[in-house]
Amino acid sequence: MHHAILLLAPKGTGREVLGQQLAQTVLCNNCDSEPCGVCHSCKLFAAGTHPDFHLIQPEQEGKQIGVDAVRQCNRWAMETSHLAGQRVIMIDCADSMGEAGANAILKTLEEPPSGCQFILTAQSLDSLLPTIVSRCNKWRIETPDEQFVKQWVEKQLMQTIKIESIRLNACAPLATQQFIEQGMDIRHNHLNEAFVAFLQPPHIGIYDVVSLCISEGIVSMKWLSYFLVDCIKFQQGVTGYLTHSESIDKIQSVAQAVPSTILIQQVRKINELHRKLEKHSGLNIELLIVEWLTGFIGGNNRVS
C-alpha cells in the first residue's frame, strides 16, 4: 500500500469508519485483507488503546484542525513502534487543516519514516491543497444511489423521508439520517419559506431570514445557495434534477419574481460568503447576511 492514502467521500458516508478499518488492517498481526479481530493488536485497537494508532480530527464540527495538532503527527511519525510493527496516523477531515497545518505536514507526507502509514479523509479534491493531494494515493468512495439511501434511512428512522433531504446531504446516508434526527429538515423548510416570502415584493421579513440563518449557522448559506441554483435551473428549463424536487412551487415563484442576472450574482456572493465565514470565525454573520439579502432589492429601495 502507498504510504499515504486519501479517502475521498462526503461527510456522513462512514468514511472515517472505513479509515479506521483500514488502520486496524494495517496494524493486525495476522494481516490479510481484513483485520482478524482476535490478535493482541486488534484487541488493543477495539479498546481504543492501540499505542501505534494516532488520530487527529477537528475538535468541533466545522472547526479547523490546529497547526499544533498537525505538528504532533510529525512527532508521532518519528517515534518507533511500541509493538514492533507498523504505525498508523489518521487525519480525519484533512480538509479542515488550515494552510499552515497543511504545510506543516507536507514533508512528512512525502517521505514518511519507514513503517509509518498515513490515512487521510476529505470531502473532495477541491477542498484540499494541491500539494497535499499530489502526495497521496487517492481512493474515491462512491456514495450509494438515492433510492438505496432513501430505503436505508427510512428503515433506520421508521418514517418516510423527502428526496430533498438526501440531495441536500450529497447522498450520504448517515448525514441524511442525522439531518432528519436533528430536525434540520424542518428548519431548512422554515428558512426556505421565509426566504421565498422575502423575495416577493415589497420584500418584507428580512429579519425572519436573518435570524433563521444566525441560529442555523453557516450551513444555512449552503442551503440558500442550493435553493437559488434550483431557481436558475428552473429559469433555464432544467427541471429534471433539482435539489428541492418536492418544493417546485417555491422554486417557480422565485424563478418568476427574480431576474436571472440577480440570481446568478447572488449565488456567487453567497458562496463567497460561505467560504469567508468558514475561514474566519470572528465575522459578524448578521451584518453580512443583511448586506447580501439587500442585493435582491433593486433600485433605490434598498433596506437601510
The residues binding Zn ion (CB under 5 A) are 28, 35-36, 39, 42
Determine how many CB atoms are found less than 10 A away from the CB of residue 156: 15
- Evaluate the omega torsion of the peptide bond into residue 202 and state whether it is cis, within 30 degrees of 0: yes
Specify whether the CB–CB gap between 103 and 134 falls below 8 A: no
**Minimum distance, C-beta of residue 1 to Zn ion, in the bound complex (Å):** 16
**Minimum distance, C-beta of residue 52 to Zn ion, in the bound complex (Å):** 13
**Minimum distance, C-beta of residue 48 to Zn ion, in the bound complex (Å):** 15
Query: Phi-psi bin for 274: left (phi > 0), alpha (psi -120 to 50), beta?
Result: alpha
Specify whether the CB–CB gap between 28 and 36 falls below 8 A: yes
Which residue number, 37 or 62, has a Cβ lying nearer to Zn ion? 37
**Minimum distance, C-beta of residue 72 to Zn ion, in the bound complex (Å):** 26
Angle at 215 between CA 201 and CA 304, to 5 degrees: 40
Which residue number, 12 or 35, has a Cβ lying nearer to Zn ion? 35
**Minimum distance, C-beta of residue 97 to Zn ion, in the bound complex (Å):** 30
Which residue number, 51 or 217, has a Cβ lying nearer to Zn ion? 51
Q: Closest Cα partner for 177 from 11, 3, 9, 5?
A: 11
Which residue number, 119 or 153, has a Cβ lying nearer to Zn ion? 119
Which residue number, 42 or 102, has a Cβ lying nearer to Zn ion? 42
